[in-house]
Every structure is written in structure tokens, then in C-alpha cells.
Amino acid sequence: MKAIQIERTGGPEVLTYLDVPTPMVGPGDVLVQAHAIGVNMPEVLVRRGSYAWMPPLPAIPGIEMSGVIVQTGADVRTLRVGQPVYVSARELVHRGGCYAEYIAVAERAVYVVPAGVDLDAAATLAAYQVAYHLLHSATRGFRYESVLVQAAAGGIGSALVQLARAAGKRVIALAGSKEKAEFARAQGATVAINYREAGLDERLAAATGGTGVDLILDSVGGPRFAGLFAHVAPLGLVVLYGSLDGWPDADVVPAMRKSGRSPALRLFSMHTFDDDPGSRRGATEALLGMLSGGAIRPPIQERVPLAEAARAQGLLESGRVLGKLVLKP
């Protein structure tokens, strides 16, 4: 089969398109033929060598795939050849293996895709898994009506906007250009703001009526992070789930105190659920149901040939992607 493999870490040029043996199916496994493959930051971090959960090299990257079962092992009981399925590497030993024409996985690791669901859209659910847990698990019962989403035009950001609106929340989206702000509004944001324009604090105050936002979700961090506490509502919650601009400066706690609104801060990672397959499955099955019912509609900017995975990752790193990219084998 054709696959993308890395033998050493580095830039996009280390992604090699080559022939490798098609995986063998064990007694409890199924062989899935890829229809579409999601492009996500974890496999970019693997390629760079900076992922905290690196697979052994050489490795096939890729954390998600949609496809069709083409072979089943002798002990497989619940799945059959011809079924459309979703494979998440969060169910596998290593976060990878999906940049390929085929993957062999254990029966328990597969999600059946409801009939009629677009398999290209299904291959984008990794971002929605993160968004779902940010909104429903990281909040731990916190009651909120409004949510501010940073980087709202990206894969996870646009998923957050869609899922928050589906839950009936008022969504304020922050994005880095007029085009991205308009895109976030099209995904369902109540208010979308280009944070690069002057007067951000005033526009955020106007968007909240001066009361602040109940829940702030940030993947950016960096020097601007502490400033978010000026816009949190009394007893509000700020969740940091990434560090695109680096870790926040040391003035976070003073900024929290200065707000005078008793805010809470949580640092969130999807690896919280590494030993909780029930929560992972419950969230993913809920998302497949929402996808089937039209409650979420993943925006796919481009379908890129698998052979051009290096170009796809370069696009993702450039910050120019609106929504998602998928690879097509």
C-alpha cells in the first residue's frame, strides 16, 4: 500500500510517500481502507519531534481516518465487511498510523459511521472530540451561557463555535483577520472579532454588555493570555488547552487577582482521557449522531492527495487554513 512515513523528525520534507506492506489482520482486528484522512496538529508535532507521546520511528503519522472495512479477523463479531467506519488513533497504542491507504485496528477501536454520513466530514472528528470535551468535560458541571473562543477559524476553534451554538450558548469568536472573523460568524458565532484591529478591549466589552464572558477557551497562550482575565464574568472559567504563542507570561495570577471577579483557570489536555475509554467512546458516538443529524457541519477547505501530505502540513502550519484539511488516498 501507499503511505506517508517519517524516519527522522524535521520539516515537512521528512514526510516520505512510499510503498509499505499492507498490514496483516489479527483474529480480533479489522482492515480499513481509507476514504479520507484528517490533518491535525498532533501529527505535525510528531513530525517535528516535539510531541510528548512520540511513536517509535520510523512511523506512519496521522490520528484519524474514515473508510470502509474490507477484511475482518476470525474473532470479530460486531463488525462486517463493507461497513463505513471512523478510526481514531486515540484508541490505539500510538498516536499515528492513519496517513495510509489501509490500517488494521482492533474491533473495539472502531466507530461505525451512521448511514448517509459523508465520510470526508467524518474524517475531521478529532477536532470535534477536543471541542466536545472542552465544552462538556473540562467545565465539570460549570453553568455558563456565554463562551469566548480564541483562534475561532481553525479546526478546533470552528468545532467549538458549532458545538457551543448547538448547545444554545452565546458565542464570541476571536480570529486573526477579517476573513477569519467572517468565517467564524458563518460557523455560528454570535459575534466575531478580528483581534488584530485596534480597540479589542472595547469591542469585547461591547459584545458582553460589560459583564464579561462566562467561559473563555484559549489555545494560544503567550503574552496576550493574561489580558483575557479582564473579560471574564464574575466567577467565570478560563480554560487553556494549547500554547500556539508559547506558555503565558508569569503575570497570569496577578491578572486573575486584578480582575476582581474570582475567576478559575484550568489547563486542559485530551490525554486526561487516555485511561478512560468510556468517556472517549461516549463523546465520539455523540458527535457521530450530531454529524448524522446535521447539528455539526465540518468545513473542509481542501481535499489534498495523500502524496502531498507535506504540502497539507505546511498549509496547516501557515495559519491560512479555515476549518479543516483532509488527505485523499
Domain with CATH 3.90.180.10 in the chain: 2-124+298-328
Hey, how many other C-beta atoms are within 10 angstroms of the C-beta on 125? 28
Inter-residue contact 143 to 235 (CB < 8 Å) = no
Nearest C-alpha neighbor of 124 from the set 77, 62, 48: 62
Please give the torsion angle defined by the CA atoms of residues 29, 277, 218 and 204, in that order, rounded to the nearest 10 degrees.
110
- Strands 2-5 and 16-19 turn out to be antiparallel
Cα–Cα distance measured from residue 264 to residue 103, given in angstroms and rounded to the nearest whole number? 42
Say what the pLDDT of residue 250 is.
81
What's the length of the chain?
329
Q: Which amino acid is at 171?
A: V
- Beta strands per DSSP E along the chain: 2-5, 16-19, 29-38, 64-72, 84-88, 102-106, 110-112, 146-149, 170-175, 191-194, 213-218, 232-240, 264-267, 300-305, 324-328
End-to-end CA distance of the chain: 10
Global pTM?
0.95
Say what the pLDDT of residue 243 is.
87
Nearest C-alpha neighbor of 218 from the set 277, 175, 163: 175
Cα–Cα distance measured from residue 56 to residue 98, given in angstroms and rounded to the nearest whole number? 15
Say what the pLDDT of residue 6 is.
97
Say what the pLDDT of residue 58 is.
96
Cα–Cα distance measured from residue 124 to residue 129, given in angstroms and rounded to the nearest whole number? 9
Say what the pLDDT of residue 231 is.
94
Say what the pLDDT of residue 245 is.
85
Print burial letters for 251-286: b (CB count within 10 Å at least 16), e (below 16).
ebeebbeebebebebeebebeebeeeeeebeebbeb
Overall CATH class of domain 2-124+298-328 = alpha beta
Cα–Cα distance measured from residue 323 to residue 329, given in angstroms and rounded to the nearest whole number? 20
pLDDT in tens, the chain (329 residues): 999 999 999 999 999 999 999 999 999 999 999 999 999 999 999 999 998 889 999 999 999 999 999 999 999 999 999 999 999 999 999 889 999 999 999 999 999 999 999 999 999 999 999 999 999 999 999 999 999 999 999 999 999 999 999 999 999 999 999 999 999 999 999 999 999 998 889 999 999 999 999 999 999 999 889 999 999 999 999 999 998 888 898 889 999 999 899 999 999 999 999 999 999 999 999 999 999 999 999 999 999 999 999 999 999 999 999 999 999 99
Say what the pLDDT of residue 249 is.
82
Say what the pLDDT of residue 119 is.
98
Longest pairwise C-alpha distance within the chain: 64
* CATH code for residues 127-271: 3.40.50.720
Say what the pLDDT of residue 63 is.
97
Domain with CATH 3.40.50.720 in the chain: 127-271
